[in-house]
Amino acid sequence: MSIASPRLPLDGIVIADFSRVLAGPLAASTLADLGARVIKVERPDVGDDTRSWGPPWTSEGAAYFQSANRNKESLTLDLTDEVDRAVARRLAARADVFIENFRTGALDRFGLGYEQVRADNPGIVYCSITGFGSGPGAELPGYDFLVQALGGLMSITGASDDRGGEPTKVGVALVDVLAAKDATTGILAALLQRGASATGQRVEVNLLSSLLAGLVNQASSFLTTGKAPSRMGNAHPSIAPYELLTCRDGALAIACGNDGQFRKLAVVLGEERLADDPRFATNAARVQNRSAMTYALERLLAAKTADEWASHLSAAGVPAGKVGTIADGFALAEMLGLRPLVEVGGGLPAQVRNPVAFSDTPITNYAPPPRLGQHSDDVRRWLSEEETP
């Protein structure tokens, strides 16, 4: 007797993904990893904007698109066409979740606004992702780079003014990623609530709010002092040493989260007396005397290479390591047995494994991102069958 494969957490959940670019598609892709059936609605002949965002390219198109659209089906619909609008409304009526990131109110004219969809489908969890909310900021363009600038993230990222730095964006569309994770959390919570109430609700996420929430301690610092934090390069405003320090041949990341780790650092460097120096004995003192601390540490670190110090410090329990490339990050994960990559087939490059591991319902299915309109006929047929008495 064969043992059935375990059901994934979201088996049976149908998601109508009307979103494009990154935040919405990434949320939908995450839910697809968890077992939901995700039907991605795209414009005929054009598709999601990111299908053309290259280089680099894979055999199936832009690598950017591939990053946020696996495990989905692609249905092409022209919402200005009456027949296609009817198909879109049938899909919304059958779905458990509806994800969109159109301009506020734009879907209303197609009969796909929240109130319109809810009238036909009271159990719908309708997730709207905007740049700046549905109020006075509804008309502002919601681009990650712009939100990083307006929301303050760039003001605390990069070298300080005295080192000739300028406000700098994070090296990935972090605000979109944060919003995607917030949307995923909101959708899952609404689905859980629906299980108790049998009714759905609207979930709203905007990039600016996700950014502000993602500022965590920096936001709390501002709200506590009334003073906006400034750029500090790789230094931490509340912990020291928690930054890059220069060794004989380059930089080393050292992250001492407590006084005990600092003492271990001093011992390995051969200067335990640093840990007893009143200027450095406590974290608060080290933050206050950061320049003197940095000078003292780098004078000692100059005796060896970053690799040598990383080895000695790690062995002593001091968090330390060289700055690696993305390739180094994947190599480290492989070495630690984290299995960071998965194959999606179709001759496409490997992708990053979903970071959540389940003991009883492991994620095992990773299907390649769909070609534009690849599943249109199948989805239309399925929707017609659903209407059959």
Catalytic residue set: 176
CA distances from 53 to 30, 67, 277, 326 (A): 21, 12, 54, 20
Taking phi first (over 0 means left), then psi (-120 to 50 degrees means alpha), and beta for anything else, what does residue 98 get? beta
Greatest distance between any 2 Cα atoms in the chain? 83
Distance in Å from the first CA to the final CA of the chain: 36
CB-based contact 54:64 (threshold 8 Å): yes
Which of 312, 290, 291, 309 shows the shortest CA–CA distance to 300?
A: 309
In 3D, which of 165, 169, 166, 160 has the Cα closest to residue 232? 160
Whole-angstrom distance, CA of residue 138 vs CA of residue 209? 13
